[in-house]
Amino acid sequence: MVTTLPVTPREGIAAPSGFGFRLHSREPLQFARQGGGVEPLEIAVTREPRRRPDIAPLADWRLVGADHEVHGALYQVDRGFEFWTTDAGAYRIDPEHGRIEMPVNPDAIVREQRLWGIPAALCLMHRGDVPLHAAAVEIDGAAVVLAAPRRHGKTTLALAFHRHGYRVLSEDLTCCRPATVPTVLPGPALLRIRHDVYDGLPPPGTHVVASRPDRVYLAIDDDHRGSSAPVPITAVVFLRESPDAIAVTPMTRGAALPDLWSLSFRLATDDGRGRTFRQLARLAGALPIWNLCRPLRLGSLDATVEQIVRMCQS
């Protein structure tokens, strides 16, 4: 049995949204934004346990989670997908009809976190957008994409921007829309902070929703979230580590493409790879792209924020 979700927002109240989708869900979504969604995306809960597909997965990963042995596997089933995780359960994704079915799970936080990952990425890819392993922040009405692999300080830097009064658009998966003016469509209002960089107090504008062995989960307060309407991209910044001073250098399109490719999520098919490459080439040709080398020290965060702001304002 599936719990269906034909929920219509009351007049005058903005609909929940995420990645530019207008969300319909009977289940509470702690990290949704308000307003700005266009394409409908239905979120349902299936009450019946699924049977894992008896086929080879399209891809499998080790996932970040409280358990270091959390795994995920993606299967193509008919015209849709199933995403199986060892901590949250199985998700059924139907991008063509704009529908995701979540599993029953007593841990609503981990279930929603997984929802905003691969399941949402498949839907936004079907729409023609590009998911990148990156954070994004808004500076003077424009988005800066902070791209890097895991453990390169994306979320920590995004939190530093929040502390300086800038809006966080995404903290790990960024939805980029290739266009004449490329845009970011803001994702979940969530910051997952490692314990070694968390000082024990949520910064103003956030509140703690969970503390796990691997991360502290901070939800951004409603009055700091904004909508998920598109924000024009002013630059893509690749985060690099340096033992010394902060340095920013421009990248050519050719030099940036391999890094963009390595940080993109795509289906491992000829069509999927070809489409993603064309989209990334379009992004790289339309945007300034920079290398940012900086020390991975908490004491350098404020100077890093100031450097990026100066770069964008110049």
149 pLDDT above the threshold of 80: no
Q: Residue 223's CB: how many other CB atoms inside 10 A?
A: 7
**181 part of a folded domain:** yes
Domain end, chosen from 79, 108, 126, is at 126
Return the C-alpha torsion angle 303, 308, 313, 314, nearest 10.
90
Domain boundary among 126, 143, 173: 126
Contact between 110 and 65 under an 8 Å Cβ cutoff? The reply is yes
Within a domain: residue 215?
no
Q: Work out the pLDDT band at 10, boundaries 50, 70, 90.
A: very low
Q: By C-alpha distance, which of 183, 191, 148, 147 is closest to 166?
A: 191
Radius of gyration of the chain (CA): 19
User: Does residue 281 register a pLDDT over 80?
Assistant: yes
Task: Decide if 280 is inside a domain.
Answer: yes
94 has a pLDDT exceeding 70: yes
Is 196 contained in some domain? Answer: no
Q: Average pLDDT, stretch 79-97?
A: 95
| Same domain assignment for residues 37 and 91 | yes
pLDDT of residue 3: 36
CA–CA gap between residue 302 and residue 17 (Å, rounded)? 31
Q: 170-196, pLDDT tens digit by residue?
A: 999 999 999 999 999 999 999 999 898
Distances (CA, A) of 167 to 92, 101, 205, 226, 294: 32, 30, 10, 8, 22
Which tokens is 295 given? 């020390």
- Say how many domains are in the chain: 2
pTM greater than the 0.85 cutoff: yes
Q: Partners of 236 in the beta sheet?
A: 145, 289
Same domain for 147 and 109? no
Q: H helices then E strands: how many in the chain?
A: 7, 21
| Within a domain: 268 | yes
CA dihedral 164, 167, 169, 172 (to 10 degrees): 20
Could you give the CA distance from residue 94 to residue 86 in angstroms, rounded to a whole number? 21
Same-domain check for residues 63 and 159: no
Q: State which residues form the domain around 275.
A: 130-187+228-313
Distance CA 237, CA 259 (A): 11
* Residue 307, domain member (yes or no): yes
Percent of the chain with pLDDT over 70: 94
Check whether residue 112 and residue 19 sit in a common domain: yes
- Residue 65 pLDDT: 61
Residues 145 and 48 in one domain: no
Cα–Cα distances (Å) from 191 to 9, 146, 165, 235, 311, in that order, read 26, 14, 15, 22, 24
pLDDT digits (tens, 9 = 90+) for 223-251: 999 999 999 999 999 999 888 889 999 99
Calculate mean pLDDT across residues 205-222. Answer: 94
